């Protein structure tokens, strides 16, 4: 519990207070239904389809969806479009909660925004560091390289391709999914010998398939030993709303001076609508992706995506302030208990699996799962071909003990058959 005491920004707000805050934010925005607003290539949502009905007054997220504010740009730095300043403030509140209360940044020492998803947030990080090395350290493109484990999400190779960087894939042990430090050191030494001088590290807080959490110190120690420049990003797209709550001693946050940025997706564990990835970085970095040509935008565009829906920020705000930190902690604790229940049942059947102790993903050796059961229960394979070695179960909110029990009963029948 220690971790969630002493939060500065995050609290639970009663329903009426939440509603009033959002309605006041909307009032501070331009109102396309009433105001004379001639310049924007935007309006409220089409009234023939999206009625501005009275009941929306009691559904502030939907009301914001219809009002259609644009959150283009980054609102933690410089000016932003004044037409949407009310809801921009609530996006800033979301970022304060995550950057300061959850990920231990000092207040006002970070930048960030709600991005379309984890993919964009990860690419934004790589883009920012690539430019940082090129603009601030005079690095040549071919001297910069990405390091990330083989379990890393495919948004990293996607970003590497877009930004014309190599990705050096670090092997992990088959059973434990832990980074092979000997291989990591060999790869770094070889890269250095091949002229690489600047390393962009992506360290996972919950890999997609295993929920495994890399130890950033594995990278830091070896990179420091070899005296090379590096920047480190945490991909907490999945684990960002789990791990800091389940592991109260986690130091994978801005208290570690080597961690410079984090991706956290609200549209995964937080059950927010799609379009709610979150990117946060230390101050002094995001300027490296300033697009100077974005002159018609009031303020600076420091993001990859351009226009983005303000309703997404409000949806995340609403979830955070409906729960407050204690209820969120409780929710994660329940999911941890269900995960443990599943693991205990698998142990009884001598079925082999991987589970990171602080996460709610269980990845089972495929040889124990008949194909029919995998299909019936929608288990996700590591690869969709005959070489598949793993199936994962993600203990999301809708996965209850009764579902697990029926799954285990069927599995048991197949084990004893």
Ligand X SMILES: Cc1ncc(COP(=O)(O)O)c(C=O)c1O
List contacts with ligand X (CB under 6 A). Answer: 117-119, 122, 153, 155, 206-208, 235, 237-238, 265, 277
What's the closest the beta carbon of residue 291 comes to ligand X, in angstroms? 21
CB-CB contact of 120 with 267 (8 Å): no
What's the closest the beta carbon of residue 301 comes to ligand X, in angstroms? 20
Nearest to 340 by CA among 380, 395, 270: 395
Nearer CB in complex with ligand X: 67/278: 278
Nearer CB in complex with ligand X: 34/398: 398
What's the closest the beta carbon of residue 376 comes to ligand X, in angstroms? 23
Nearer CB in complex with ligand X: 218/265: 265
CB-CB contact of 270 with 94 (8 Å): no
What's the closest the beta carbon of residue 294 comes to ligand X, in angstroms? 23
Nearer CB in complex with ligand X: 87/276: 276
Q: What is the DSSP string of 143-210?
A: GEEEEEETTS-THHHHHHHHTT-EEEEEPB-TTT--B-HHHHHHHHHHHHHTT--EEEEEEEBS-TTT
Q: Rounded to a whole number, what is the distance in angstroms from the first to the last CA of the chain?
A: 45
Nearer CB in complex with ligand X: 63/312: 312
Residue nearest to ligand X (CB): 118
Nearer CB in complex with ligand X: 29/203: 203
Sign of torsion over alpha carbons 265, 262, 210, 333? negative
What phi and psi values does residue 153 have, to the nearest 5 degrees?
Answer: -65, 150
What's the closest the beta carbon of residue 123 comes to ligand X, in angstroms? 9
CB-CB contact of 86 with 247 (8 Å): no
Supply 56's token pair.
């929306």
What's the closest the beta carbon of residue 122 comes to ligand X, in angstroms? 6
């Amino acid at each position: 519990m220690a971790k969630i005491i002493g939060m500065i920004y995050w609290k639970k707000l009663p329903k009426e207070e939440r509603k009033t805050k959002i309605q006041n934010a909307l009032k501070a925005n331009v109102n396309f239904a009433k105001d004379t607003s001639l310049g924007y290539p935007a309006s409220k949502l089409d009234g023939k389809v999206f009625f501005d009905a009275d009941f929306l007054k009691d559904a502030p997220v939907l009301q914001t969806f219809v009002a259609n504010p644009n959150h283009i740009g980054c609102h933690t730095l410089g000016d932003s479009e004044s037409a949407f300043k009310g809801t921009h403030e609530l996006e800033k509140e979301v970022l304060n909660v995550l950057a300061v209360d959850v990920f231990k940044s000092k207040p006002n020492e970070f930048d960030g925004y709600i991005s379309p998803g984890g993919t964009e947030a990860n690419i934004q990080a790589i883009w920012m560091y690539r430019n940082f090395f090129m603009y601030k350290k005079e690095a040549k493109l071919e001297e910069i390289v990405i390091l990330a484990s083989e379990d890393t999400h495919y948004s990293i190779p996607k970003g590497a391709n877009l930004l014309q960087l190599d990705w050096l894939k670090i092997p992990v042990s088959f059973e434990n999914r832990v980074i092979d430090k000997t291989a990591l050191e060999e790869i770094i030494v070889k890269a250095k010998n091949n002229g690489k001088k600047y390393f962009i590290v992506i360290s996972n807080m919950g890999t997609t398939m295993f929920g495994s959490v890399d130890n950033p110190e594995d990278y830091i120690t070896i990179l420091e030993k070899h005296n090379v420049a590096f920047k480190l990003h945490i991909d907490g797209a999945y684990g960002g709303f789990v791990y800091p709550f389940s592991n109260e001693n986690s130091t994978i946050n801005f208290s570690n001076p080597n961690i410079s940025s984090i991706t956290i997706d609200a549209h995964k564990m937080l059950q927010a609508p799609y379009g709610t990835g979150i990117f946060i970085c230390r101050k002094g970095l995001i300027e490296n992706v300033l697009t100077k040509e974005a002159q018609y935008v009031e303020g600076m565009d420091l993001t990859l995506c351009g226009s983005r829906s303000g309703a997404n920020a409000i949806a995340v705000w609403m979830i955070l302030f409906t729960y407050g930190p204690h209820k969120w902690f409780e929710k994660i604790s329940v999911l941890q208990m269900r995960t443990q229940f599943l693991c205990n049942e698998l142990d009884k059947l001598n079925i082999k699996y991987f589970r990171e102790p602080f996460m709610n993903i269980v990845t089972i050796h495929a040889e124990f799962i008949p194909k029919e059961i995998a299909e019936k229960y929608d288990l996700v394979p590591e690869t969709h071909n005959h070489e598949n070695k793993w199936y994962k179960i993600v203990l999301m909110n809708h996965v209850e003990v009764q579902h697990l029990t029926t799954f285990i009963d069927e599995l048991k029948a197949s084990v004893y058959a």
